[in-house]
Amino acid sequence: MTLYTSRQIGLNGRHGGMIAPVIAVGGCDLHGPQSALSPAGVGAEQISSLFWWMAGGAVLIWAVVIGIALYATLARPRKKHDVQGARWLIIGGGIVFPTVVLTILLSYGLMLIPKLRSTGNVDLHVAVSGEMWWWRVRYTSPAGEPVELANEIRLPVGKRVSLSLTSPDVIHSFWVPSLSGKVDMIPGRENTLILEPTKPGTYRGVCAEYCGASHAFMAFRVVVMEPQDFEAWLTHQAQPAVSSGSPSARQGEQAFLVNGCGACHTIRGTAADGRVGPDLTHVGSRLSLGAGMLPNDAQTFARWIGHTQQIKPEVRMPSFGMLPEEQLTALATYLSGLK
């Protein structure tokens, strides 16, 4: 296992580019869409530099302790080591050194807590509710209207965002490793997480608290955009749905309403106003389907509607495999056209 660092690790985590060490472990790049070690937010930056400092220290301490152990068990000095010296080892290595190191580490850790949790100077509020097994997201539009979306969060770069995290069913945990640490979503409580993205890009978030059968399939994308792009996106999302109007899409809209999909899903601008499942007003514009599981294209959409239960065990939505093939295709065309 090789571990090589190409750049200096800095404790001051404000400048993401400075601190992200390019590291490969056994050929694996530490830059992933879900990596806590390639930070793109203030919280993640501070935590990842804390990690590198601690990891370096830990490796050093480990090597010294193991070195002493190997020396003690393998070396055969002619004269036995004297007991008094060994006692000093206990006091020095077992008491003085750890107390000093731990005091420093503790002080730094304690300093970091208010930094990561301070709810002051917030530019944007977003409410996220973790539900079995998807994410309900609520923005307030520039016009002050509530906008409900699902399974995708977009944030303006460089702004402090306060997320209010809740759950109506079981405990979930909201985690976008590249932006910051996780916070649980606990039924009956409301938690807050502060995000401050520093780099535009698309990141992956997941549910980190075991929440039942499809816990593994509860992901989402976070897109960090330039502020003006973000404003435009949010304004668009606040609009009602616009169908492409093609014959197939019209047939799909019919199928959607006739088959009772509207009992669970909302498509603003149509009669569908269900509140149980994700809002689908602009589902075609999202980056993934089934809460971060699948690529978003018409073919996959048809497969998802027809085989929901097989793809995502125990999900609340039944499989609509009994629908005729052309209805499924029409549904998929209609929905993926809702950009």
Partner 1 sequence: MTDITQENLEQMDRSEDEAQKARLKKAWKTPEGWRYWSAVNNTEVGRWYTAVSFLFFLFAGVLALLIRTQLAVPNNDFLSADLYNQVFTLHGSVMMFLFAVPIFEAFSILILPQMLGARDLPFPRLSAYGFWCFLIGGVFVCGSIFFQVAPQGGWFMYPPLSTQYHEGLGADIWLLGLSFIEVSSLAAAVELIVGILKTRPPGMRINLIPLYAWYILVVAGMILFAFPPLIAGDLLFELERLLGWPFFNPEKGGDPLLWQHLFWIFGHPEVYIIFLPAIALVAMIVPTAAQRPIIGYGWIVLAAVGTGFISFGLWAHHMYATGMPGISLAFFTAASEAVAIPTGVQIFCFLATALAGRFVHSVPMLFVSGALAIFVLGGLTGVMVAIAPFDFQAHDSYFIVAHLHYVLIGGMLFPVAAGLYYFYPMADGKQLSERLGKWAFWLMFVGFNVTFLPMHFTGLLGMPRRVFTYEAGLGFDLLNLISTIGAYIFAVGVVILVWDVVRPKKKQPHARRNPWNAGTLEWLVNMPSHPWSVRSIPIIKSRYPLWDQPNFIRDVDEGRFYLGDAAEEKRETLITSTIDARPIQCLRVPGPTFLGLWAAVFTGGVFIFSTYHWYVAALISGVLGLITILIWLWTGTALIPEKPAKDIGLGVTVPLYLSGDKSVGWWAMFITMIGNMSAFASLVFGYFFFWTVHEDFPPDPSQGPNALWSLVGAGCVLGAWALTLLARQANRKDRAAVFYGALILAALCCVAGGLALFAGPYSSGLDPKSHVYPATVWVLVLWSLVHLAVGLIMQLYCMARRLAGRMTAEYDIDIRNVALYWHFMAITATVTVVVIAGFPRMV
Partner 2 sequence: MTEPDANRDDPETPAARWHSLWLLTLGPAFWTMHFLASYITAAIWCAKFAGRAGSLETVRWLIGGYTAVALVGICLVSWFGYRQHKLGQATLPHDADTAGDRHRFLGFSTLLLCGLSFVATVYIALTVVFIGTCE
Stretch that binds partner 2, among 113-121, 144-152, 234-242, 243-251 (CB under 8 A): 113-121
Instruction: Identify the residue among 18, 122, 216, 264 touching partner 1 (CB under 8 A).
Output: 216
Positions in 20-49 near partner 1 (CB under 8 A): 25-37, 43-44, 46-48
Positions in 223-282 near partner 1 (CB under 8 A): none
By CB under 8 A, residue 94 contacts partner 1: yes
5/37 Cα distance (integer angstroms): 13
By CB under 8 A, residue 85 contacts partner 2: no
Instruction: Identify the residue among 17, 77, 85, 114 touching partner 2 (CB under 8 A).
Output: 114
Strand order in the sheet with 172-175: 152-156, 219-225, 201-207, 172-175, 183-185
291/89 Cα distance (integer angstroms): 55
**Residue 119 interacting entry, from partner 1, partner 2, none, C-beta within 5 to 8 Å by type:** partner 2
By CB under 8 A, residue 118 contacts partner 2: yes
How many residues form the binding site for partner 1 (CB under 8 A)?
A: 93
Largest CA distance in the chain: 94
30/20 Cα distance (integer angstroms): 10
By CB under 8 A, residue 117 contacts partner 2: yes
Q: Are 176 and 204 in contact (CB under 8 A)?
A: yes
Residue with tokens 């509607």: 305
Using a 10 angstrom Cβ sphere, with 0-12 exposed, 13-18 middle and 19 or more buried, the burial of residue 167 is buried
Q: Are 48 and 80 in contact (CB under 8 A)?
A: no
Stretch that binds partner 2, among 21-29, 58-66, 117-125, 286-294 (CB under 8 A): 117-125
How many residues form the binding site for partner 2 (CB under 8 A)?
A: 13
Applying CB under 8 A, the residues found at the interface with partner 2 are: 95, 99, 102-103, 106-107, 110-111, 113-114, 117-119
